[in-house]
Amino acid sequence: MNETAAQIIIGVGLAFDLFGCIGLVRLPDVYNRVQAATKCVTLGTCFILLGTAVYGMSAAMGIKAMLCAVFILLTSPVAAHAIARGAYKSGVRLWEGSVVDLYGEEKHPSRPPDERTEPAQAGETLGAGRESG
């Protein structure tokens, strides 16, 4: 019974992992890739860890698996946010099909949309004091 439940949970996790990595290959720019891959792979790996705990090989293994799931749930969104922010600040442009860029509009309201990912120039007026954010 435990084995069947663990197989089902791990199978769901594997499907999420695989779909996340397919999204990593298929999607058009880095911002799409980071959102698809991070969310799917975080949930998928947490399901695999949960399945390891449900399988119940030993109590220590289950506790470590749940601890690792908590770590991944805490660290993976932070890492994805840092990568996306670093990508924007290093000048990676959005895909041409993107419809909105709220971060750029807030940060560089005076620029045309194509130039918002460029680094800030000296003396330029920045939006609403959010430069240090």
- Distance CA(127)–CA(104), nearest Å, equals 9
The residues binding other proteins (CB under 8 A) are: 3, 6-7, 10-11, 13-14, 17-18, 20-22, 24-25, 30, 33-34, 37-38, 41-42, 44-45, 48-49, 51-52, 55, 57-58, 60-61, 64-65, 67-68, 71-72, 75-76, 78-80, 82-87, 89-90, 92, 119, 132
Which of 39/111 has CB closer to other proteins?
39
Which of 6/107 has CB closer to other proteins?
6
- As measured in angstroms, the least distance from the Cβ of 110 to other proteins is 20
Which of 44/104 has CB closer to other proteins?
44
- As measured in angstroms, the least distance from the Cβ of 112 to other proteins is 22
